Amino acid sequence: MPTERAPVVAAAGGVVWRPAADGGIETVVVHRPRYDDWSLPKGKLDAGENALTAAVREVLEETGLQVVAGRRSLRTRYEVAAGPKQVDYWLMRAVGTEEPFEPNDEVDELRWLPVAEAAALVTHEHDRRVVVDLVRDDVPRTPSLLLVRHAKAGSRSDWDGPDDERPLDSKGRRQARQLADVLPVFGPCELLSAERVRCRQTLEPLAERTGLPVRSLPELGEEEFAADPQAGLAVVERLLGRARDGAEQPGVTVVCSQGGAIPSVLMSLGVRWEGVAGRLYPPAAKGSVWALGGRPGALAADYYRDLGPDPDAP
């Protein structure tokens, strides 16, 4: 009989950075008294938790730092006593007024260091690879645009009214709440929506959470984009160009669009998909998010298929 493998121990953490006085950046490393090692802030997922929100929570708990999530970094995997452990990391920019570090049960010392010094100090090689990923120069550290496919709105054939007015169904409303639970970690600064009820409703819980209004962006509606794709692409490129890693006020624009527009936008930006054999067309499942930063040819593009509980969470 095949031997059953132990379940994966799922964890998440952050590579926290800030601009340095010399024009470069510095990052955080932490000392864990339990293991007497230098590492990165991280921890196990709680039951039903999303890995990204877990990563931000663990950084706050271990360091006291307020952060804005950036691009997805590496996943490390290694063996621990309980079985295989995997840790998903995100780059995170420290924001707000920094309070003095207070030692806690997990971490008794915190250091801000230049990246090369941090890489030399960390104890484990898998952490060193994550630190080094922070200084990649081919893609930005922070996204400037979150491209959201509207949540589930039921069948068009079952809706008697105009299709533009078709609302979210119960699953779609749940997906919209999940988006509102997770997307604030990116520091949204603007919410834009195609002129469809289901698109606007997808962003309404996020608007309530952030206090931002949902403004209209007709160029990225499905029919409008098909009629004038250049106008839609011009808007996307303008939004991508707004934020840079060195910006004083990091944050992203959130745009809710439709399945007939999002893959075409991504293809025009040079995003390809290798998740399914023979398929190059990027996916855009209902309620999914593409986090985009940079410009065509130097674009960071992270796909979040589902922002519900992580499948490896307890």
pLDDT in tens, 221-262: 999 999 999 999 999 999 998 765 555 456 799 999 999 999
pLDDT of residue 1: 47
Distance CA 184, CA 251 (A): 10
Identify the CA nearest to 194 among candidates 169, 170, 163: 163
Q: Which fold has domain 9-133?
A: Nucleoside Triphosphate Pyrophosphohydrolase (3.90.79)
Amino acid at the residue 63: T
CATH architecture classification, 145-304: 3-Layer(aba) Sandwich (3.40)
Provide the β-strand partners of residue 13: 42, 89
- Cα(223)–Cα(242) distance, integer angstroms: 26
Q: Tens digits of per-residue pLDDT, 6-53?
A: 788 999 999 999 999 999 999 999 999 999 999 999 999 999 999 999
Every domain of the chain and the residues it spans: 9-133, 145-304
At residue 296 the predicted structure's pLDDT band, cuts being 50, 70 and 90, is confident
Tell me what the pLDDT averaged over the chain comes to: 92
What SS3 state is found at 102? Answer: coil
In the predicted model, what is the mean pLDDT of residues 192-218? Answer: 98
Question: In angstroms, rounded to a whole number, what is the distance separating the alpha carbons of residues 166 and 153?
Answer: 7
**What average pLDDT does the segment 202-230 reach?**
97
Residue 4, pLDDT score: 60
- Is residue 14 within 8 Å of 87, Cβ to Cβ? no
Beta-carbon contacts of 84 under 8 Å, excluding residues fewer than 6 positions away, are 5, 6, 8, 9, 77, 78
Classify residue 133 by burial, with Cβ atoms within 10 Å: 0-12, 13-18, 19+. Answer: middle
**Tokens matching residue 57:** 């929570």
Inter-residue contact 103 to 26 (CB < 8 Å)? no
Please give the structure tokens belonging to residue 162: 């105009």
Query: Could you tell me what percent of the chain has a pLDDT over 90?
Result: 80
Question: Of 136, 93, 139, 142, nearest to 244 (Cα)?
Answer: 142
pLDDT at 79 over 80: yes
Domains 9-133 and 145-304 share a fold: no
Which of 64, 84, 86 has its CA nearest to residue 75?
A: 86
Name the pLDDT band for 184 (thresholds 50, 70, 90): very high
Among the residue ranges 84-98, 170-184, 238-252, the one predicted with the least confidence is 238-252
Q: How many CA atoms lie within 13 A of 62 on its CB side?
A: 28
User: Which pLDDT band, with edges at 50, 70 and 90, does 157 fall under?
Assistant: confident
Quote the CA–CA distance of 217 and 208 in Å, as a whole number.
Answer: 19
Query: What is the per-residue pLDDT across 266-293, written as a single tens digit (0 to 9) for each?
Result: 999 988 877 555 557 899 999 999 999 9
Q: What does the pLDDT read at residue 81?
A: 85
H helices of the chain, in order, are 51-63, 115-121, 125-133, 170-182, 197-210, 222-227, 229-240, 262-268
Cα gap 71→302, rounded to integer Å:
7
Q: Output the pLDDT for position 277.
A: 54
Q: How sure is the predictor about 183, in pLDDT bands with cuts at 50, 70 and 90?
A: very high
Q: Each residue of 54-67: pLDDT tens digit?
A: 999 999 999 999 99
